[in-house]
Amino acid sequence: MTPAQDTAADGSASQDDSLSVEAIHLRIRRQDRPDSPAYWQDFRLPYEADHNVVSALLALRSNPVTTSGQRVEPVAWERNCMEEVCGSCAMLINGVPRPACSALVDQLEQPIVLAPLPKFPVVRDLVVDRSRIDTGFQHVKAWIDIDGAWDTHEGAPRISPRQWSDNYLYSRCMSCGCCMAACPQFGPHANFIGPAPLAQVRLMNSHPTGRYDKTERLHAIMGEGGLSDCGNAQNCVRVCPKAIPLTTAIGELGRETTLQALKDLFG
């Protein structure tokens, strides 16, 4: 497909940006293949109340015609839960990484500029390959090994209500990648594992069963690309849609890795 160049290469409009209140203006960064150049296209949709970005993209799919009148291939993007739980619809919306399902059109400045999450390889249009997040989780062993089932009445390790409440904050991570996209230290230019896997180390190491592997997880983030590569920009905590205290986790892990280093040194 030969794309219509509705906008300039930097995403700026090539025509008047004025809109009536009865229209939704979407400016979308598109890319046909992982190895093809990106380009921008503009679309206008009839206004409907209570649209979010996901529902606007669904409406666009039924009639993918640009503002210049060219019918094009439907925009590729991802979604699943529509409840800000799965994280699959995360993208760059007006320059901010966030889930598209909770981005309400009425609260966004138009034109609404949509682009794929930065720092991740583009598959097509707004779809990116976020497998590096999973690789980070595997590297830090972000799971708990359980051999068999605990008896629900006797023998199971107990968690205090306060500790449970603290841990719950970190359990809300949905692997959307927003924190990674906003992190200046994460990306194809660096080996930094990113804030999401680091927060999971904090979560798993505080679990009564998960702490059995605490030393292994700490060693995993003490090497190249680990905790010391964090530049403390704090972008991650600003964009996290679940308000996970990522910088708090990183601070706690800094103390834990220091203690672990002393234990390794003095046995």
Q: Please report, for the domain that includes residue 115, its CATH number.
A: 3.10.20.30
Task: Give the Cα separation of 32 and 122 in Å (integer).
Answer: 9
Name the domain boundary from 80, 96, 128.
128
Enumerate the β-bridge partners of residue 140: none
- Domain check: are 110 and 166 in the same one? no
Q: Tell me the pLDDT band of 159, cut-offs 50, 70 and 90.
A: confident
Does any domain span residue 112? yes
Does any domain span residue 2? no
Min mean pLDDT across 7-16, 133-142, 254-263 is at: 7-16
- Domain check: are 54 and 151 in the same one? no
What is the mean pLDDT of the segment spanning 13-22?
49
- Domain check: are 90 and 121 in the same one? yes
C-beta separation of 85 from 176 below 8 A:
no
Whole-number pLDDT of residue 150:
58
Q: Tell me the pLDDT band of 24, cut-offs 50, 70 and 90.
A: very high
Alpha-carbon torsion (115, 117, 121, 127), positive or negative: negative
Task: Give the Cα separation of 121 and 131 in Å (integer).
Answer: 10
Q: Which of 180, 169, 167 is nearest to 137 (CA)?
A: 180
The number of beta carbons lying within 10 Å of the beta carbon of residue 35 is 7
With a CB cutoff of 8 Å and minimum separation 6, the contacts of 107 are none
Residue 189 has pLDDT above 80, yes or no: yes
CATH code of the domain covering residue 228: 1.10.1060.10
What's the domain range around 144?
131-266
Does any domain span residue 257? yes
Name the domain boundary from 92, 110, 128.
128
Beta strands in 117-207 (DSSP E): 122-124, 127-128
Does any domain span residue 4? no
Whole-number pLDDT of residue 20:
46
- Domain check: are 107 and 152 in the same one? no
Residue 5 has pLDDT above 80, yes or no: no
Min mean pLDDT across 102-111, 159-168, 236-245, 255-264 is at: 159-168
Q: Tell me the pLDDT band of 145, cut-offs 50, 70 and 90.
A: confident
What is the mean pLDDT of the segment spanning 25-45?
97
Residue 18 has pLDDT above 90, yes or no: no
Task: Scan for tokens 């927060």, then name that residue.
Answer: 199
Whole-number pLDDT of residue 154:
62
What is the mean pLDDT of the segment spanning 195-202?
97
- Domain check: are 118 and 151 in the same one? no
Structure tokens at 107: 């609260």
What's the mean pLDDT when you consider all of the chain? 90
Does any domain span residue 12? no
Asked whether the bond before 111 is cis by omega within 30 degrees of 0, the reply is yes
pTM for the whole structure: 0.87
Q: Tell me the pLDDT band of 180, cut-offs 50, 70 and 90.
A: very high
The number of beta carbons lying within 10 Å of the beta carbon of residue 91 is 30
C-beta separation of 26 from 94 below 8 A:
no
Does any domain span residue 1? no
Radius of gyration for the alpha carbons in the chain, expressed in angstroms and rounded: 22
Does any domain span residue 14? no
Whole-number pLDDT of residue 4:
44
Domain count, the chain: 2
Whole-number pLDDT of residue 181:
97
Task: Scan for tokens 């209140």, then name that residue.
Answer: 21
Whole-number pLDDT of residue 246:
97
- Domain check: are 152 and 255 in the same one? yes
